[in-house]
Structures are given as structure tokens and as C-alpha cells.
Structure 1
């Protein structure tokens, strides 16, 4: 394993008991350690029953070390605390300045005391490929009086001057410049929208659509897994047959280039790029011009997986990728028309070094297999990587081309959706993190934390917390990078999307960090600059002409959801999780307007399963619940069901003794009475599926993320046959006419 990548199995060398304390008793942090943690955005208390408790010293030390702040000894704490007090004064300019359009903002500039400084900005000057230096609009900034006195930093007397960023700047990525003592310093300036405006026609209306896990939605033409052509067909059918306004899908982000593939779409190797697993080989234009011999090779590659689409058992991603990869290699060698070649070259130029680096990583992983990477390959900018890129040039080109054909088919799906009448089209999702040993961890090693993983604090759904293993962004490192990795990820995710669903949008405010070797409930929250991150999210969505839905169904500080609404980011209201202060179902009339309302999510079992309590039976069979725990969980699940049915009956949405199908339709009809702007219908509920897509805690015992779309009896339902399903036709008609 390369030393630059986080290893979830390593344990940080930090004390977890005081030298003179009882074994196993967590050491309370000193006030100095608490002050240091707070100075770096680490929350020194964590949620507990009835309130909050102090974060143990061991956790604070481990999290600070992951942030690049030495804190293992009292001397290191004292030194790091002093550095934290002076850090702002060491920099001439802040690394990144984020301001809302129409707001004036002051920027502190630090130079040797008594030295004059000239500060200006260049419009649209913060990105590669922007206009040349000589043609960018340049504006000198006015200085404002500042009576802050000088400070001695590292033996140098430093003074502060304050300059004003004007309020009339256009949206976009600009650059700040300061010239002092013959040295020029540059920083990123981002002007973001005050608010992301809603699409035309949505304000005052309510749009509805279908939510699907694409890999599970297969057709007779699929190669064993749902693909982008199936997405286009699903969008067309639901738009034309049912009047749906959107189709929302799981993250389609990049997977590993070699098997075995990570099954979870929420732990991709890269959040920025697409998985070629979703490419429909036959829809690539060059496939039509293959020779008879090459066409036979494609057909032979498909033969072992063609029949998998009718198999009700777990989806075999590895077999599908091996087959598709062999076929794609054949199509890759086919000549492209001049216009197609030009389009490919434009795509490569537009995606820049990020695409080249992903393709390089893929080629290297393929070349080395699953063996650990030598240390000299740990840095993407190293001579060793450059040499291997040249050696593997053809494979690098192949993986570059794969992204182009995937992007083309993603574009086609959105075009088909809109042409079929959808007012929004495809809602794509970006995962909350990426694989700790994937491409992002390699490409962004300078801005991702090592020896920690993101997770969730203990809560109702996860009493012991949960760990996701994905390395989180280091807030200050991301700021020093001008937020470019975050921006670039958003841009690719927003390509050809009517809306973007941000998984765990609350992580843009604070994120639960779990140090390696500690359990998920032993983590701590780390704060992020939400004004910058949410502002950049709104800016990139505005530029893409898309709206944003954030998964904010979780533990959040009281003001956070109001802040997101103020910025025009929709939240998520999940019926099974929406309760009033008394623990009763929240009336749908009280749902938020700026929200996507849904009965469930991919994290919950299908509604038919929940109504029958089958999710409790499954957890008990898998050994995830003791008999006593199962009795209690089953009682609570039955109470939730009864409360939901009672609420439906009070509104005349179900009969006195409703069937399962009647209850499901009643739940969705009730959502149409909510003020929420969007309503999502899970495709699994529409066809009567009962099997969960994911079972937390059962890594090998349950086929999470491998369950194909099926009906209540487990029979496969293909895209071709969706509208032969009476239950689907009935539910979608009920939703369409409910308002």
C-alpha cells in the first residue's frame, strides 16, 4: 500500500487513557487541547443521550493530526495553538475569498509593517483556460482604513491593510492579486449567487417523478445491468405514459477499472467521473461501422451476460464489466469520423488534466493489478507516474475515451427525457465520499485527510454511529486549493442534469470524522466553510441550469435547513422519518415547501416490506438483532405503520380495512397534498418490490446493491415490461391525478 493513502486498518498512535487513569477510561482533554481543536474547526463535544459529552483527548488528537496539526504532547499543543493564532497573518492574501453577488467584502492583506501594497482583481482569471492575462478585465481595489496594529510573527513585524472587493462583480471565478516588495501573490475570488433560482414554472406548482437505482433497472437489451440507454427509455416511458417530470438515479460515478468492483454506488473510486459500466456498447456510433469480424467479437463478449437480465439473483457486476470491457476495447479501435474525432478532442481539452489523471490511474491499476503501488507512484505529479503514463499511453487513451462515450450517453438520456416532455429530466446524484484507495484518494492526496474516514454520529437509525471509510476533505487544504477539486467534481456531476441530488449535504457544514482504529461512535465533528461550499454548489448549478436537492435527513444544527432554503437548495422530507415533537407522523401539510417529498429512500426497505415488518425479520435472521431487540423494533415498526394508516384514513385516502397496495397508493397520494415542490416515487414501490437494496451491517450475508428490480414475488421486471405491471400503472396514475 502506498504510504500516501489512508489505511482503515491502521491505528493512530495516540493515547486513549491518562497515564495515571484507569484502563479503558477515556482521558478528558485539557483546556489548551480544546482551544486548539476549536481553532481548527473541531467540535469539542459530541451528541449523547440527553445532551452532549466532551470528545475524549485521544479522538481530538487523532483528528487534529489528520488535519496536519501536531497535538500528541502538551508542548505540541502549545506550539500549534500559537501557530493557529498567527496563521492568518502569515499569508499576504487569504487563499480563497468567497462572496455573494451584490455584497461588498473586505479582504485583509498582510505585509511587512510599513510596506506599501497594491491590490487588484482580474475578472474570470481563476481557472485554466481563461482569457490571457493581457485581455482579462482588471480592477484596482480601494483600500479602507484599518486601525489594527502590527503583530510580530516568526520574528517579523507584520502589518495589516484592508481592501474592498466591490459589490458589482459578475458571478464566476476571478483572481485577487497583491504586489508588495516586488513579489506578487495570487488568490482565488469566487462570486456566488445570493440564491439559486427555481426552474421556470416550478414556483407555485409541484412536479413529480420516479426514483430508481439504475443498475437494477434492466431491459432485454442490457448486458446484465441497467445502463444509460435503459435510463433514457425509462425517462421516455414515464414521461409519455404517466406524465412524470423527472427520473432520479443513484450516483453513476466511476468504479474500479479491474474486478472485483465495489458494489456500492455510494463508494465510487472517483466522484467526478462516470462509470463505463453504464455504457450501452451498441449505442456507440462507431459500433455501426465495425467489420463483420469485429462485430462478432462484440457479440461473443456479450454472450455470457446477455441472459443475466432475466436472473432474479444478485447482479454480477464483475462478469458484466469483464464482458463490456472486452467489447469496448474492440469498439475503441474503430476509426472515428472527422466530426466525431473533433468532438472527442474538445471533450478531452475541456476536462483537462483531471481526465488525464483519472485515465492514468486506471491504466496503472490495470497494469499493476491489485498489488500495492510502489511509493514512487504515490504522487500523480512524480516522474515515475509520468514515465508509466507514457509507457501505458494506449491504455490511458482507452480510459479517456471511455469517459467520452459515457458522457455522450448521459447527454442522450437527458435530451430524450426533455424531448419526451419532462420538465426537469434526469436528477443525478453525487455521493458523499469516495473509496479510500480509489482514484480521488490518489488524485487529491493533498486535500484529503489520511487515517480518518467520514461517517455519521450515533442516532436513532444507527445507535453506535456508522463509518463510511471515505477520506474527507481537509477544510483548510481545500481552501488553499481554491476549492478546485470540489468545483470540478460538481461540474462533471452537473453535466446533462436537470437537477443534482447531493448525498449528505449536511456534510458541507460539519462532518463526522472517525479516526482509524476507533469505532464510529468515537469520532468528532469537523466544521467546514459552508458559506463557501454551498455558495460554490449554487454557482455551478446556476451555470449548468440545474436545481439542487440536498439529502438533509439527519442530525443538523437548527439553523442549517433554513440556511439551505435561503440559498435555494431543496431539502428532503421522508415520510417514514418525518415526525412531530411528540413522535407522531408529521402531517404532510406541514412539510417544507423547498423540499423533495418521498415515502422512503434507498437506505430504507421498500414500502411493502416495511408495512409487513419484513425488514425486522431479515435483520433477525442475519443476526443483527437479538430476540429481545427484534421484539422491540417490531413493536415500533408496527406502531409507525398503524400511525401512518390512521393518518391516511383521517384524510379519506384509504378504506376501513385497506390492502397493502391501497396503503402504498394512499401514502403517495398524501405526498401530493404536501406543499413540497417535488415528489419522488420509488420505482421499487411502483412494481411491488419487497427486497431491500441495502442491509447495513451485513457485508457478506446480504447482497447489498445487487438486487435487480422485481415484483412482489421476486420476478424480474424489465424496462420493456414496466407498463405491463398493473401495480405500477395504478400507482403512477394515482400520483398523477392526486392533485
Structure 2
């Protein structure tokens, strides 16, 4: 998840009884909020209900263009909304699942009527308000037409409706008409074939002797080829590679990008650009490459942090020189195809970056005329900056090509899945996506998390939420385009905070996270788009469903074939003994791991060093000895279970007790029925340091650490390939990953 900034504690709250004021929720405001998907209350835990902040409810409605500034305005808005609901023939978007599902209900997805058989067309819930005799016409993506009359023969069938997003038109007998986007999707994603294990790594942290101070797409391709061929791995999962907000200083977090649709050229392997070999200005390239060597040595040999800004400055200089080399006819044609395929979205993206070079990287501070991507002033600026717009378009093309090459390399190395990419929850409010898609974002709101047992103050991630009403009105076009772009080069997609497909915690700008409320999305439509696009790409989808999860969400995701995420230390019998969950009771449809980028490494967990780190940073809320005792007890329970299952082998093979413990943890994961087993790459060399330490901002070097050994010495990709410790651990997984669950050990 995105690293939250520290927030001020909430101030005093003054209640008031009027519908449009902060403090309490009247009946009219509650009804109006419900009609717009804004929660008037929520349940942070079973049996406990909390009334939402009236301030947040009013602000959320205002962000949806609902006027509740006075009681009269609220009543008028309620009347208008109820009239619109009663008089419309069709909702903005209708979902049709093209096959039977296991359960006709979709839990908290909302509006999920019975699934229909292949070719049957529309679910009854979508037709409930239509008068008999209404003519229904479907224009498919391919321009074909399907027509029938509602209620004439007792059914509503469409002959062989293909998957896709179609246009549905209803014409009532009285002449009224209505239109809707019709999302026709397979009922679920196919289950990954067999079971596999793979490596999890933050790409920037994986340096080789060829990278320029941080891991790059050349390193990703090299890692994938080696892991697939030599280690028998089935996938490599990386952090989000989305385009960042330019610095300096750039936000190092990959979870707060400028754009999620386009990748970041900082990940380019410059030497792999075909035109690099023909760059003629060697006088300038030679000293630049010498600076590259010094930057790489600073990280690998002198203990310097990864400096994204310095890396990009070097790459930008080199790429400016490479761009002077004319493209050959074939390359020129390929670039032209890319520009045509990406269309206005790429033009907007490149325009934002060109404007940011002139006016800074927060579009809300640009001259007023430039804040609108469709204004005449923006059009004039785009023309004046045409060369820079083309430069950033060219960078997107190069990066897309290297990402595609990395996935192809992974599959050619025998990986069944290949590269697993990560989709962040949202984007920076001042970045390219928020500018280009400003009409789809809720102004003045930020996404976060409510207070819970782990964080009494809640979290504010600083990401503007999509407006559910605008998504529905567009047939979820921004979401469809985003997924299609990512699936171009992904064998699987991990969706961070997948619960956001159902609801998000909206926080009014300037208020603490405690003053937020949930806003619901049409999860059935979001899932239909996800299943449709992933099916077209032949890709797997993994949902990060850790933390507080609304009842029914995991079940709904499972029905649609979206895998979950299970982390060993969190898998306990929470409804019973509280003890570690035996392997046979784990779910099968998941990616099972020992840790993640937001958690301590396995070595740190086993040695208790994660407690010492938080103590040094002043992050403990209890005495050190209490924290040590609790951590030791937690680990002790897991080690006892590992020993009971005969997974905690001795050290007679030369492995340390720590290495034996890490191997035992992964033997345990293989005992579960999980279809995918993830190995955190730093665990293979005993790295103690987390890549991200939630709850810190500048106290800890989040997102800037190279993979290191137990002593904190950076370990290169070449070192990893020769590491006996890594091979001993991957041999455990390679030997047993293909065995049936329960047969290993």
C-alpha cells in the first residue's frame, strides 16, 4: 500500500441536527447518501456499527455534484434522485455474465441479480423496471445487432451475445428510450494450470553490474530468464512500474504514481534501445557512462541509497542523445502504430509531462487555462511543445517495448505465468492521470483507511478516488483502458487493496482520516470489466486482500476466479483458538507468501530484529521488553508447528538455524493447497531490512534500499545467481512446488 504521511490528531467534533451540517445524519441525508452509494455508517468489526462523519457524507455528496448545502437543497436533491431512479428505463451500465456461476448472489457487489446462461443476454434484475413490450437492441463491439421484445415470450434472450462492452438501447411502448453500456463477461477467470512458485522483488532494489544505480527492465528480463531456466520458477512479481511524478525530489513510493496507465522510462535499459549503438555523440556519452559507473558503485560499494532522481538525470541525458538517431523505416512504422493505437490517452500523458517541464509537476498550480486538457490554451501549448510531447511519447513506446520483451523472455524461459505486475490503488492528485481524467476523479477527496485495531488514527494515502457515477456513465472506460494497457505485457496482475473494487474510504481534503466515510462502487461491473480484460489477455489476477475485508468480498472474488493473498504470519484460527492455521486449512486459490514489501523479512521476523528496528526509530507504543516477548511468542508458536510437522530440519547440511527456519517456513507454504507460492527475493540472502516501513515518512529510507545480505551488504543479480544460500532455498521450492499439496516435506 501507499506510505501514509503522519496526520494531526482529530479535533473536537460539534454535533448538529440539520441535514446539511456536520455532526449528525438526518433521515433525508441518510436516504440521499444511500442512493449515491455514500455510507451513513460502517462496521469496523463484527457486531459494532459506527455512524459516519456527517462532514464526510456531505463532502462526498458534494464531490458527486449533489447539493446538500442546506436542508432545502438536500430535500430537492433527494426528490430529484428518486424521480430519476423511478423514471429511467436502464441504469448507466448493465452486467451480463455469459455463463452459470456457483451462486446467483454477488455478496456486497450490489445489484448482482441471477447469473444467466451463455447467450441468454440480460439478468432479470436489469429488466425489472421495464414495461412489457419494450424493444431491446444490442449493438455489439463488432457492430452487429441483436434485437428482441421484452416480455413477449417470457424470456429475454440474445442469440450468441459475444464477450465485450456493447451498447444496449431500450424503447418503451410509450416512446421513452434509454441506453446503457452492456458488459458481457465470462463468469470467471480460469484457474492457473497446476501450481508454481515464483520470486517477489521490488525491481529498483535489484541491481546488476549493468544497471544504472537501480534495477531496470534489462535486469528484470535477466532475472526472469535465469529464474525460469535455472530455478524452475513460474513467475516473477514486481512492484508497480507506473510513471512517477517527476522530481526532484521524486516521491520514491511506487504506489503514488503520476500515471497508472503508462510505465516509467526510469526503468529503461538504455543500452538495449536499438538506436543507442548508433549514437554519434560519443564525446558526451563517454563521461556520462563514467558518471553511471560512479553512481552504481556508490550504491553497491559505498552504502549509498538508491537515488531515483540521479538515475533519471543520467538516463534522460543519454536518451536525449539517442533520440537524435533517426529511426529506421521498420522502427518508424512501429512507432507510428503505437501512437495510433494509444491515441489521445498517450497524447494527454505526454502533454502533461511536457507541460510539467515548464510549469512544475502539480497541474493544480498551472495557469488556469492549462488545467483543462481540452482547453484552447492547452491545445496551443501542446503545439508549441510538440517536440517535447513527442519525446515523452517516444519514451512510453520504448518502455512498453522493453516490458513486452521481458514478458516474452520469461515465457520463453519456461515460466507458465511470467511477469506479475502490480496495480497501485490510485494516482497522485497533481499527476498526469488526475489531469487527463479530471472529470472522473472526485475533487477535494482522498482515499485512505478508517481507524482500526492497528491504527487508531486511520490512514490517508493522498490519492484522489474515481467517481463511481462517472465510471458507470462511461461504461467504465478509464478502468477498461487501464487494464488493457497493463495486460499488454503482464502474465498476471496483482491488484493492490482489491477491496477498492467494492468500496473506498473517502476523506475530505484537510481533515483527518477519522473524518471519512465509505463510498461504494458497482463491484459487479468492476469485476466484469476485470474478468473480461484478463480473459482476453489470458492472464491471472491476484487480489491483495490483507487487512480489514468486508464480509462477502473474498467469496465474491473467489467466484470470479480472482486469487487472494495469504501471508503466513497472519494465517491464524482467528475465530477459534487463535493458533497458527494448519496448512490443510488454507485456501487454495491464493498466492501464499512468508512476507511482503510492507512487512519484516523472514530473517528479521525469526531473529526479532524487526522489533529492534522499530525501537531504534521510536515507533513502539509499548515497552521494548513487552514487544520482544510478544514477537518471540508469535514466532515460537509457528516454529512449534513447523517442528510438529517435521518441517524444521536440522543444520547438519551446513545451514544456519536461521536458514533452516526460513526453509521450514517455505516447506510449510508448500504443504498448503495454495496454487502460487511466492518467495521474497531478499529472503534468499538473509536481508534484514524491510523495503517499506509503514508509519514512517523520513525516519526510514523507504523504497530506496538495494537487496542486501544479513550484514547489509548489497547483493547484485550476479551475486544472487552464485549464492549457495539462495540455491539451497530454491531447491526446496523447486523440488516440491509441483507436488500435490500435503505430499511434500
TM, length-normalised to structure 1: 0.89
Partner of 1:153: none
Partner Cα separation in structure 1 for residue 335 and residue 661 of structure 2: 50
Task: Judge conservation of contact 1:312–1:708 (CA < 8 Å) in 2.
Answer: no
Asked if residue 562 in structure 1 is aligned to residue 555 in structure 2, the reply is yes
Q: Which whole-Å CA distance do the structure 2 matches of 1:612 and 1:145 have between them?
A: 71
Partner of residue 27, structure 1: 23
TM-superposed deviation, 1:165: 6.2
Aligned runs of 1:177-576 on 2, under 5 Å? 177=169, 186-199=179-192, 202=193, 205-291=194-280, 293=282, 295-296=285-286, 299=289, 302=292, 305-310=295-300, 311-370=302-361, 372-576=365-569
Counterpart in the other structure of 1:121: 138
Tell me, yes or no, if the aligned pair for 1:267 and 1:433 is still in contact at 8 Å: yes
Q: Deviations over 1:625-678 (max 9, x none)?
A: 2453x4443333222111111110110111589822111110011101110100
Q: Tell me how far apart the structure 2 counterparts of residues 27 and 233 of structure 1 sit (CA, whole Å).
A: 57
Q: Point out the more displaced range, 56-65 or 183-192.
A: 183-192
Q: Is the 8 A contact 2:17 2:24 kept in 1?
A: no
CA displacement 1:383-440 (0-9 Å, x = unmatched) = 1111110000000001001111101110111111111111111111111111111111
Separation in 2, partners of 1:649, 1:26: 56
Work out the CA distance in 2 between the residues paired with 1:520 and 1:711.
38
1:612 maps to 2:603: no
Verify the 8 A CA contact 2:147 2:158 in the aligned structure 1.
no
CA–CA separation in structure 1 for the residues paired with 2:17 and 2:524:
44
Counterpart secondary structure, 1:144: coil
Output the CA distance in 2 between the equivalents of 1:182 and 1:329.
61
Displacement, 1:257? 3.7
SS of aligned partner of 1:141: strand
**Residues 135 and 149 of structure 2 are in contact (CA less than 8 Å); yes or no, is this contact kept in structure 1?**
no
Residue number in structure 2 paired with 1:139? 146
Q: Which moved more, 1:170-179 or 1:361-370?
A: 170-179
Alpha-carbon distance between aligned partners in 1 of 2:298 and 2:533, rounded to the nearest angstrom: 39
SS at match of 2:494: strand
Q: 1:732 to 1:676 in 2, by over 3 A?
A: same
Note the C-alpha offset of 1:51.
Answer: 1.5
Q: Does 1:66 align with 2:63?
A: yes
Q: What residue in structure 2 maps to residue 38 of structure 1?
A: 34
Contact 1:606–1:689 (CA<8 Å) still a contact in 2? yes
Distance 1:16 1:81, change over 3 A: farther
Deviates more, 1:486-495 or 1:67-76: 67-76
DSSP 3-state at the match of 1:468: strand
Between the aligned partners of 2:285 and 2:456, the Cα distance in structure 1 is 54
| Runs (5+) with no aligned partner, structure 2 | 100-115, 737-743
Equivalent residue number for residue 164 of structure 2: 172
Aligned-partner Cα distance in 1 for 2:157–2:433: 34
Q: Which residue of 2 aligns with 1:152?
A: none
Give 1:519 shift.
Answer: 1.8
**Which residue of the partner structure matches residue 81 of structure 1?**
78
Q: Secondary structure at the match of 1:623?
A: coil
1:622 equivalenced with 2:617 (yes/no): yes
| C-alpha distance in 2 between matches for 1:110 and 1:391 | 53
1:732 match: 730
- Once the two structures are TM-superposed, the CA of residue 518 in structure 1 deviates from its matched residue by 2.2
Q: Structure 2: how far apart are the matches of 1:221 and 1:301?
A: 13
Distance (whole Å) between structure 1 residues aligned to residue 6 and residue 417 of structure 2: 43
Query: Aligned partners of 1:727, 1:568: CA distance in 2, in Å?
Result: 35
Cα offsets for 1:99-146 (capped at 9, x unmatched) = 1114331556999x99x9764221115xxxxxxxxxx21222323379
1:129 maps to: none
C-alpha deviation, 1:455, in angstroms: 1.1
Partners of 2:443 and 2:429 in 1: CA distance: 9
Gaps of 5+ in 1: 1-7, 126-135, 147-161
1:284·1:405 contact (CA, 8 Å) conserved in 2? yes
Q: Is the 8 A contact 2:17 2:25 kept in 1?
A: no
Rounded Cα–Cα distance in structure 1 between residues aligned with 2:511 and 2:134: 49
Specify the alignment match of 2:593 in structure 1: 598
C-alpha contact (below 8 Å) 1:376/1:384 kept by paired residues: yes
- Structure-1 residue corresponding to 2:741: none
Contact 1:620/1:627 (<8 A) preserved:
no
Q: Deviations over 1:45-84 (max 9, x none)?
A: 2345661221132222122222222223322221222122
Q: Pick closer, same or farther for the CA change 1:178–1:655 going to 2, 3 Å.
A: closer
Residue 91 of structure 1, CA deviation: 4.8
Q: Distance in 1 between matches of 2:238 and 2:16?
A: 52
Structure 1 residue ranges (4+ consecutive) displaced by more than 6 angstroms after TM superposition: 8-11, 179-185
Over 3 Å counting, the alpha-carbon distance change for 1:482 and 1:15 in structure 2 is farther
Question: 1:348 and 1:110 mapped to 2: Cα distance?
Answer: 44
- Give the C-alpha shift of residue 298 in structure 1: 5.6
Per the normalisation by structure 2, the TM-score is: 0.88
Q: Which moved more, 1:301-310 or 1:80-89?
A: 301-310
The aligned counterpart of 2:635 is 641
Which segment drifts farther, 82-91 or 596-605? 82-91
CA shift in 2, pair 1:577/1:358, >3 Å: same
Residue number in structure 2 paired with 1:159: none
CA distance in 2, matches of 1:40, 1:296: 60
Q: 1:86 to 1:175 in 2, by over 3 A?
A: same
Which of the numbers 645, 651, 660 marks the counterpart of 1:651? 645
For 1:329 and 1:667, locate their aligned partners in 2 and report how far apart those are by CA, in whole Å.
48
Contact 1:665–1:731 under 8 Å retained in 2: yes
Q: Counterparts of 1:323 and 1:183 in 2: how far apart (Å)? A: 62
Bigger shift: 333-342 or 179-188? 179-188
CA contact (8 A) 1:10 1:451 kept: no
The number of aligned residues is 695
Partners of 1:10 and 1:219 in 2: CA distance: 38
CA–CA separation in structure 1 for the residues paired with 2:6 and 2:434: 16
- Specify the SS of the correspondent of 2:373: coil
Alignment deviations for residues 683-711 of structure 1 (CA, whole Å, 9 cap, x no partner): 01111110111112221111111111111
Q: Kindly tell me: are residues 228 and 644 of structure 1, through their superposed partners in 2, closer, same or farther at Cα, counting changes over 3 Å?
A: same
CA distance 1:211–1:536, change in 2 (3 Å)? same
